[in-house]
Amino acid sequence: MLQVDNITKNFGGITAVADVSFAINKGEVVSLIGPNGAGKTTCFNLITGFYRPTAGRVQFEGTDITAFDPHRVARLGVVRTFQKTNVLPRLNVFENVLAARHLHGETSILRAFFPGKAVRVREKRVRDEAADLIETLGLLARIDTPAESLSCGELRLLEVAVALSAGPRLLMLDEPAAGLNTQEAERLADILKQLVGTRVDALLLVEHNMSLVMSVSHRVVVLNFGRKLMEGSPEQVRNSAEVIEAYLGKPVE
Amino acid sequence: MIFERRFLLGALAIAIVFPLLGWSEYVIHVGVLIMFSIMLATGFNLIVGYVGEFSLGHTAFLGIGAYTAALLSSSLGMPIFFNIAAAAVVAAIAGFFIGAVTLRLRGPFFVIVTLCFAEVLRIVANNWVALTNGPMGIAGIVKPAWMAQQTALQQKIDFYYIGLALVTVCVYFAYRFVYSFLGRAVVTIRENRFVAQSVGIWPYSYSLLAFVVASAMAGVAGAFYAHYVSYVGPEVFGFPFMISMIIMVLLGGKGTLIGPVIGPVIVVLLEEYLRDFKDLRFSIFGLVIVAVVLFVPQGLMGFVAARREQYARK
Amino acid sequence: MDFLLQLLANGLVNGTFYALSALGLTLIFGLMRVVNFAHGELYMVGGLIGWALTELVGANFFLALLIVVIATGAAGYLIDRWLIERVRNQGAESGILLTIGISIFLTNTALLIVGTVPHKVLSPFANKPLFLGPVVLTQSRLSIVAICAVLMLAVHLLIKHTTLGRAMRATVQDAMAASLVGIRTERIHGFTFALGTALASAAGALLGSIYVTQPTIGGLVSLKAFVVVILGGLGSFAGAIIGGLVLGVAEALWGGYFATGYVDAIGFALVIVMLLVRPYGLFSVKSERA
Ligand SMILES: Nc1ncnc2c1ncn2[C@@H]1O[C@H](COP(=O)(O)OP(=O)(O)OP(=O)(O)O)[C@@H](O)[C@H]1O
Ligand SMILES: [Mg+2]
């Protein structure tokens, strides 16, 4: 589905991402891992059009999306979350999920000002779908709660819900388990495993929680200092000396 | 949503009945000023309250609308309703082009550059004597023919109802805008631009649409004003109109539909009341703005009536 | 040719004045992220105090300038601590509205006190023409240009090379970190606003000896200052100087060769044109993080 070829990004002097390539196939969960500052978030920004790559190419289902604006990338079915905040803090859970369903609720401008029955039916459907999604993620009890008053665990779920609500084919999550305890992370892992094949076609995950990564991914791509260090199955990555070194530093000789 | 709709319909009912209570000419005049201000504030609020960008150049469209109506009326003798519609269209077109340029910027840059546009137009209105009659302005815009035989009071009442009809149209459009996918999109942009883009919303296009609708409303207000006072001069582009718009929307509560309705009522009444203080009233006005920013930053309606949606459970 | 040189000279002189009168604005934005819409009114207040001291009290020009700087600086400090501090970190809009309120108050209060008559600050510099080759300039203008240059240099040194200046720059970069290393950021903000205020009113007092000062000029001064800082890049010190010179020269050339009626629109037209080319000013780097 997604094909990333040799993307590079320089910020003034520093090279945040250098010559990185990988691919994601339909039905796969791929994780992108690496120490802090390795360039994972930058990769997300490059794929989804928030940054323009200095060099390289990104293709989605055969379409070259390298120079696309973020909203066009989303329209094609690639939706990402943000590491910092991925919600509209002052709005409630329902409004958040509904807002993200934008592409399914669009009508012509004329119809917006003079809505007929068709528009109302469609609006109803979009609302039902949003509520349905909230229920799936177990947030129904909090449907009227403003996002800013959710607990950390609920907030992470809402972030996933917001991204899912946009109807992605490829979902890209940037540290969805940050700040979660073990129990909450396991629950999230269960949800993520069920997503592929039902709600989305493929999942790209950036995450520091290794047990989550190892339990959900089919394939893992490791970045270090902006370069691709290795790619392989969770087992291969777990046992790679290179990867351990990247995370823990060189053992003292 | 329900609360806002009920409030607005109730206000409409009161506004319809109001002139029948035997008021003086002066009171009706104040009512007309309120109608004019509501049109202006409702449009301006779409930008400030929903898109969340702060324009200081909205008088550009007020002035464009006023001059369009004045020119159509004085040189071609066109009737009032035609002029108002034409003013809406011309202001919307101007809004499209000015918005297309200025909305590439955000924050303080947007603020200052919109102000620049209004200033350029003011200077043009002052200097392009052949078209605008320069600083003298265009006087003697004729009243509608049916008003010829009427008393001054009846004329004001007619203007009041024309104003009320236009306000109703403007608020209807604002309501539909806010409570459709359009409003949802601009609120998403306002709350988090990055999230909006990540779910497929193109901020530029929706901001521009809001800008165009707001411009059209300012154009309508300008045309209405031109016919009411039967004079238009370069000062319609000036900063004082901008200041009143800001205070009205802010005091009423930006990002609500009710705010730009009650804000103008309060501000116009306050302005009339402060007339007794002569020049001191402008100083007081400055302090009022400072006080609003410090003490009621959300405006009077900010907490009650912000755009809210709930899922109706079966 | 001589005509062109004369226009350029006039433009550069006016440009220096524009630069000076925009400096306070760009400083407050650069170091506090506040767009000060009362900037022109602070300039006006400086001019009026300067006039009152030199004309009514009979004070010496430089003494008057010193008093203006100290008095308005103190007022600026209080404005920041009493008003602006309350809306800090609430986004650009609150600061803009607050300063608009202050500007309306200042203009109209000044109108109540001194009326609409234009006033002039008395300066010791003669209005004698000086002939520099083909170019004629008055002695007073050249003297004021020299004072402007000294003032700009002083502010530059203050910001770049003193402890206070370093604290100011640290505070704008990261107020949290600055307060962790012991900088009292609230006071620093106060001093920054005081400095911007003092600069604005010093400009008003200086230029009040060349142009006239009246309560209603604030709006025009603010607008020109906005043009200058947008041209140069909001918050950039060097940008304000370049922006001022560009505006001064552009206005002089336009006024000399084309219509004088539209001179005031030149700056705005430049801003709009530049917007299409380099949206965030000549001297600023736009950076945004997702
Ligand atoms: N907009 C930017 N401007 C300048 N440098 C940037 C920008 N965005 C990222 N960088 C730099 O690029 C490098 C990679 O950052 P990135 O955010 O992609 O890391 P990351 O792998 O997501 O780290 P983390 O696990 O901490 O989220 C860092 O050195 C960062 O400072
Ligand atoms: Mg990251």
Least confident of A241-250, B163-172, B304-313: B304-313
The verdict on A135 touching B (C-beta cutoff 8 Å) is: no
- Tokens representing C93 are 């809009």
Q: Please report, for chain C, how many H helices and E strands are present, in that order.
A: 11, 2
Q: What percent of chain A is predicted at pLDDT more than 70?
A: 98
The verdict on A66 touching B (C-beta cutoff 8 Å) is: no
Rounded mean pLDDT of chain A?
90
Q: What is the pLDDT of residue B191?
A: 93
C102 contacts B116? CB cut-off 8 A: no
Higher pLDDT, A88 or C280: A88
Which chain B residues are Cβ-neighbours of A74 within 8 angstroms?
197-200
What span, in angstroms and rounded, lies between the C-alpha atoms of B237 and B60? 6
What span, in angstroms and rounded, lies between the C-alpha atoms of C237 and C228? 11
Interface test mutation site (partner C, options B97, B116, B121, B235, max chain C beta carbons within 10 A): B116
**Pocket of ligand 1 contains residue A209 by CB under 6 Å:** no
Distance A37 CA to ligand 1 centre (A): 5
| Residue B297 structural domain | 2-313
Distance A212 CA to ligand 2 centre (A): 17
Shortest-distance Cα residue to atom 1 of ligand 1? C289
- Tokens representing A133 are 């999604």
**Pocket of ligand 1 contains residue A37 by CB under 6 Å:** yes
Q: What is the pLDDT of residue B300?
A: 84
**Pocket of ligand 1 contains residue A83 by CB under 6 Å:** yes
Higher pLDDT, A159 or B281: A159
Mean pLDDT of B195-204: 95
Residue C286 pLDDT level (bands cut at 50, 70, 90): very low
Find the distance separating the first CA and the last CA of chain A, reported in whole Å: 44
Residue B156 maps to which CATH number?
A: 1.10.3470
**pLDDT at B190 > cutoff 90:** yes
What is the dihedral sign for C-alpha C39, C40, C43, C45? Answer: negative
Please give, rounded to a whole number of angstroms, the shortest distance from the CA of B9 to a CA of chain A.
Answer: 18
Q: Are strands A78-80 and A227-232 parallel, antiparallel or unpaired?
A: unpaired
- Tokens representing B179 are 């409570």
Mean pLDDT of B209-238: 95
Inter-axis angle of helices C39-51 and C92-114, nearest 10: 30
Mean pLDDT of B80-97: 96
Q: What is the pLDDT of residue B97?
A: 96
Per-residue pLDDT tens over the stretch C50-102? 999 999 998 899 999 999 999 999 999 999 999 999 998 887 788 988 999 99
The verdict on B205 touching C (C-beta cutoff 8 Å) is: no
* CA distances for C261 relative to A53, B23, B124, B129, angstroms: 48, 47, 9, 11
Higher pLDDT, C93 or B170: B170
Q: What is the pLDDT of residue B303?
A: 67
Q: What percent of chain B is predicted at pLDDT more than 70?
A: 98
Shortest-distance Cα residue to atom 30 of ligand 1? A37
CB pairs below 8 Å between B and C: how many? 122
Mean pLDDT of B156-172: 96
**pLDDT at C249 > cutoff 50:** yes
* Ligand 2 is an ion; residues with CB less than 5 A from it: A 41, 83
**Pocket of ligand 1 contains residue C286 by CB under 6 Å:** no
**pLDDT at C288 > cutoff 50:** no
B187 contacts A163? CB cut-off 8 A: no
Q: What is the pLDDT of residue A250?
A: 61
Q: What is the pLDDT of residue B305?
A: 61
Q: What is the pLDDT of residue A249?
A: 67
Q: Are strands C129-132 and C135-138 parallel, antiparallel or unpaired?
A: antiparallel
Q: What is the pLDDT of residue B275?
A: 81
DSSP sequence for C247-283: HHHHHHHHHHHS-STTHHHHHHHHHHHHHHH-TT-TT
- When CB atoms are compared, the residue of B111, B119, B290 closest to C268 is B119
* CA distances for A19 relative to A1, A31, A32, C30, C132, angstroms: 20, 18, 15, 37, 61
Give the distance, in angstroms, between the CA of residue C256 and the centroid of all CA atoms in the same chain.
Answer: 25
Domain count, chain B: 1
What span, in angstroms and rounded, lies between the C-alpha atoms of C70 and A3? 65
Amino acid identity at C168? M
Q: What is the pLDDT of residue C283?
A: 55
Which atom of ligand 1 is nearest the CA belonging to A51?
1
Distance A33 CA to ligand 2 centre (A): 10
Per-residue pLDDT tens over the stretch A199-234? 999 999 999 998 899 999 999 999 999 999 899 998
Which atom of ligand 1 is nearest the CA belonging to A40?
21
Q: Are strands A78-80 and A170-174 parallel, antiparallel or unpaired?
A: parallel
Q: What is the pLDDT of residue C290?
A: 43
**pLDDT at A196 > cutoff 50:** yes
Higher pLDDT, A30 or B299: A30
DSSP sequence for chain A: -EEEEEEEEEETTEEEEEEEEEEE-TT-EEEEE-STTSSHHHHHHHHTTSS--SEEEEEETTEE-TT--HHHHHHHTEEE--SS--S-TTSBHHHHHHHHTHHHH---HHHHHS--HHHHHHHHHHHHHHHHHHHHTT-GGGTTSBGGGS-HHHHHHHHHHHHHHT--SEEEEESTTTT--HHHHHHHHHHHHHHBTTTBSEEEEE-S-HHHHHHH-SEEEEEETTEEEEEE-HHHHHT-HHHHHHHH-PPP-
Per-residue pLDDT tens over the stretch B112-123? 889 999 999 999
Q: What is the pLDDT of residue C285?
A: 45
Higher pLDDT, C276 or A107: A107
DSSP state, residue C135: E
3 state DSSP class of C134: coil
A partners (3+ CB pairs within 8 A) are B, C
Q: Note whether B120 and B57 are within 8 A (CB).
A: no
**pLDDT at A111 > cutoff 90:** no
B192 contacts A88? CB cut-off 8 A: yes
CATH topology of domain A2-248: Rossmann fold (3.40.50)
Q: What is the pLDDT of residue B205?
A: 95
**Pocket of ligand 1 contains residue A16 by CB under 6 Å:** yes
Q: What is the pLDDT of residue C287?
A: 43
**pLDDT at C284 > cutoff 60:** no
Interface test mutation site (partner B, options C28, C102, C103, C104, max chain B beta carbons within 10 A): C104
Distance C174 CA to ligand 1 centre (A): 18
Q: Is C278 exposed, middle or buried (0-12, 13-18, 19+ CB in 10 A)?
A: middle
Rounded mean pLDDT of chain B?
91
Rounded mean pLDDT of chain C?
88
What span, in angstroms and rounded, lies between the C-alpha atoms of B196 and B204? 11
Residue C282 pLDDT level (bands cut at 50, 70, 90): low
